[in-house]
Amino acid sequence: MADFLGMMKQAAQLQAKMKALQDELDTVEVEGTSGAGLVAVRMTAKMEVKGVTIDPSLMKADEREILEDLLVTAHNDARRKAEAAMQEKMASLTGGLPLPPGLGLG
């Protein structure tokens, strides 16, 4: 019975750490860029987009397709950085052990 109580205590501690980590991921921001910095997307490590910056030189009707492509690229760059930040934070919580699939912090 003592082993079960110990496991329950560890589970409660892990749950508290996960909650704290989720709160921290809301404050971690990354920025993805494209077009040599002409477009930037800022997002949290939980993949919430916080802002988009577009250089005024791209605000031309005939540049629309280029701008759309740059936005997609910048968003994907930010997403990769956010995923890396989340993995880094998770590694610090789990001691480097990977979490089972589907146990992310979405």
- What are the C-alpha distances in Å from 49 to residues 26, 27, 83? 11, 12, 13
Q: Indicate whether 15 belongs to any domain.
A: no
Q: Indicate whether 20 belongs to any domain.
A: no
Q: Indicate whether 54 belongs to any domain.
A: yes
For 56-67, what is the mean pLDDT?
Answer: 91
CATH code of the domain in which 66 resides: 3.30.1310.10
**Domain assignment of residue 71, given as a range:** 25-93
**Distance, first Cα to last Cα, the chain:** 34
For residue 99, what pLDDT is reported? 56
Q: Indicate whether 19 belongs to any domain.
A: no
Q: What is the pTM of this model?
A: 0.71
Q: Indicate whether 98 belongs to any domain.
A: no
Q: Indicate whether 73 belongs to any domain.
A: yes
Rounded to a whole number of angstroms, the CA Rg of the chain reads 19
Domain count, the chain: 1
Per-residue model confidence as pLDDT tens digits over 44-56: 988 999 999 999 9
Per-residue model confidence as pLDDT tens digits over 20-46: 888 888 888 999 999 999 999 999 988
